């Protein structure tokens, strides 16, 4: 079974995240959307809300599981018997950052990272931009899946 982990904080999930996950479905038998828990980070949405947003967004897709985890992503992948880490790339800065992590992960665990380029229509969206729009009372609805808009 080809299993991939798509890790992130998803605070909140965006249309860009959704696009990457949906486009990755034909590549894998199962995708685990893994919400990382970092006690030092301040989140806008609770862990339960973030998990519910993702589960609702993919409620009709049996190949997608949503879980939470702590610690190293590679250790979580080993625990879940996942051979791949899925990542989306929006720009050259993302590539440089993600490339260093991917090389380290492969050296330490032999887990391959699969990169998908974001669609042009979502390449500017990030969770931090969505949070900023929300904090300032802007219209965030075009940036996130319906589950977040509710």
Per residue, the 3-state secondary structure of 2-40, as one string, reads: CEEEEEECCCCCCHHHHHHHHHHHHHCCEEEEEEECCCC
Residue 121: active-site member: no
Query: Which listed residue (50, 51, 87, 127) is catalytic?
Result: 127
Residue 41: active-site member: yes
Give residues with Cβ within 8 angstroms of 10, minimum separation 6: 17, 33, 35, 50, 53, 54, 127
Residue 90: active-site member: yes
Query: Which listed residue (90, 99, 106, 131) is catalytic?
Result: 90
Give residues with Cβ within 8 angstroms of 88, minimum separation 6: 16, 17, 19, 20, 94, 115, 116, 117, 118
The catalytic residues are 17, 41, 90, 127
């Amino acid at each position: 079974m080809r299993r991939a982990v798509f890790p992130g904080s998803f605070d909140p999930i965006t249309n860009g995240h959704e696009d990457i996950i949906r486009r990755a479905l034909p590549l894998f038998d199962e995708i685990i959307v893994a919400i990382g828990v970092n006690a030092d980070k301040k989140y806008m949405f609770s862990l339960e809300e973030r998990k519910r947003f993702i589960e609702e967004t993919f409620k009709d897709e049996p190949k997608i599981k949503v879980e939470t985890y702590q610690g190293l992503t590679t250790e979580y992948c080993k625990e879940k018997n996942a051979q791949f880490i899925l990542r989306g790339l929006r720009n050259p800065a993302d590539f440089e950052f993600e490339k260093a992590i991917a090389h380290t992960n492969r050296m330490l665990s032999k887990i391959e990272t699969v990169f998908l380029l974001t669609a042009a229509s979502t390449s500017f969206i990030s969770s931090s931009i969505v949070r900023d729009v929300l904090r300032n009372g802007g219209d965030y609805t075009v940036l996130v899946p319906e589950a977040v808009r509710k």
